[in-house]
Amino acid sequence: MVTIAESDARRLTRIDPPSRRALVAFLSSPRYEVLPTDDVEQRVVAVVPLEVTITVTASPRRGIEATIDLAQRLAQRGYRVVPHISARLIRDESHLKGVLDALAAMGAKDAFVVAGDANEPAGDFPDSVSLLEAMKAAHSLTDIGVTGYPERHSFIDDDLTIQAMWDKRRLATYIVSNLCFDTRVVKKWVGRVRRRGVQLPIYIGMAGVADPAKLLRISSRIGVVDSARFLRGHSNWFLRMLQPGGYSPERFVTGLLPDLAGPDRKVAGLHVFTFNEIESTERWRQEILARLAAGSA
């Protein structure tokens, strides 16, 4: 069972009213990122209400088809789904057209475009900018998300990530920040994005309630290129999760406030990396909302 530490519960009671309202709004309709494993559909349906948007990752081992298939099934269940379209998994324009046609058929209006974790591109699209360019005249989507990097990317230079965000701003409608555990870094990054003139709404990426041992098993099953590379690319935050008291989702969300509650920051909401720890993450969300409601009574 998920329980909130008393120190974190007290922190919730000290939030000022505008920040409280912003946090309630963020947690009332978040985005849950899930991995396309065999059991994830039933687990989502069992505990996640329809006001939560479900984003479905793209796995190099399973291919983009597994992403589309799960997104279709969840859409049929009534969820708003956001498939991840990985540039390095798309072979050519014909393959891309098939993916976009599948999104249109399921009624999807939103997609999250990423470069992807595959070592080598499957075809014509080595990065997200090249895929976005190919998509711009061929899709019926109303929203397209791209990734932002508050911390250093595991294998892309900082100068390139900054330039890529500038390039992508005209081809996308929102940004999702990559996973980061330091709210100070996140807040400074949002400020830098705004000072550079990028005004796209930002979803703040955060970890849900995930057990590190289970995360290792999931990464092996999903084939995130392989679990060894997964850990190399994410060793910093994985070690933080292992440390006692090293990460608390409630400390993270309260640490964003009041800075990111301001309208000038244009924070659209929270993008929660569940690592398929769906049940515990949803219980945590409901408990936080209940405590916030009790505190405002």
Q: What does pTM read for this prediction?
A: 0.87
Query: Counting beta carbons within 10 angstroms of the beta carbon of residue 39, is it exposed (0 to 12), middle (13 to 18) or buried (19 or more)?
Result: exposed
Taken in order of first residue, the domains within the chain and their CATH numbers are 6-296 (3.20.20.220)
pLDDT at site 118: 75
Report residue 43: phi and psi, to 5°.
Answer: -70, -40
pLDDT at site 227: 41
pLDDT at site 296: 64
pLDDT at site 2: 52
Mean pLDDT by runs of 10 across the 297 residues of the chain is 58 83 95 94 98 94 94 97 96 94 94 86 88 87 92 53 68 90 90 89 90 59 44 56 70 93 95 93 95 77
